[in-house]
């Protein structure tokens, strides 16, 4: 199965000039711990809930004035939409990360979470388990 079949295609993102308080509100509203930061559709980095706590709150920065650019993680681990889910699982395990930005030629096209990966695997197992089972009684 390919990444594009399991990834979330609807993505809320932010810009590098967004204030951290606004980033946190977007994350709250989306019930997400991860917000891609883009310029146009080009991925610059991501802000995680941990980034906000460690790089902003713990350092005493003002959430109303600090921007995403100063808090975001750069050098984000990404994956292509046509890569196999097994490759995604390997990247997540190796990097001990729960979300991958899905990027096609530098453009953010989706996000693959650990939950997406588990759901896709469960669906595949279900499909395999029902092969050969006749419909009806």
Per-residue confidence (pLDDT) for residue 125, from 0 to 100: 52
**Tens digits of residue pLDDT in 91-132:** 999 999 999 999 999 899 999 999 998 888 877 654 544 445
pLDDT > 50? residue 133: no
End-to-end Cα spacing for the chain: 31
**Tens digits of residue pLDDT in 56-70:** 999 999 989 999 999
Per-residue confidence (pLDDT) for residue 121, from 0 to 100: 80
pLDDT > 90? residue 75: no
- Local confidence band at 39 (pLDDT 50, 70, 90 cut-offs): very high
Sheet order of strands, 42-48 included: 34-39, 42-48, 107-113, 99-104, 78-79
Per-residue confidence (pLDDT) for residue 134, from 0 to 100: 47
Per-residue confidence (pLDDT) for residue 22, from 0 to 100: 96
pLDDT > 50? residue 137: no
Domain architecture of the chain: domains with CATH? 3-130 (3.10.580.10)
């Amino acid at each position: 199965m390919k990444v594009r079949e399991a990834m979330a295609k609807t993505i809320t993102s932010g810009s590098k000039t967004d204030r951290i308080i606004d980033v946190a509100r977007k994350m709250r509203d989306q019930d997400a711990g991860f917000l891609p930061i883009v310029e146009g559709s080009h991925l610059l980095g991501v802000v995680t809930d941990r980034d906000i706590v460690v790089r902003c709150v713990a350092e005493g920065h003002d959430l109303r004035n600090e921007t995403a650019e100063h808090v975001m993680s750069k050098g984000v681990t990404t994956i292509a939409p046509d890569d196999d889910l097994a490759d995604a699982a390997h990247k997540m395990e190796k990097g001990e990360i729960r979300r991958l930005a899905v990027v096609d030629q530098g453009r953010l096209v989706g996000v693959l979470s650990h939950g997406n990966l588990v759901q896709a695997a469960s669906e595949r197992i279900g499909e395999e388990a029902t092969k050969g089972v006749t419909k009806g009684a």
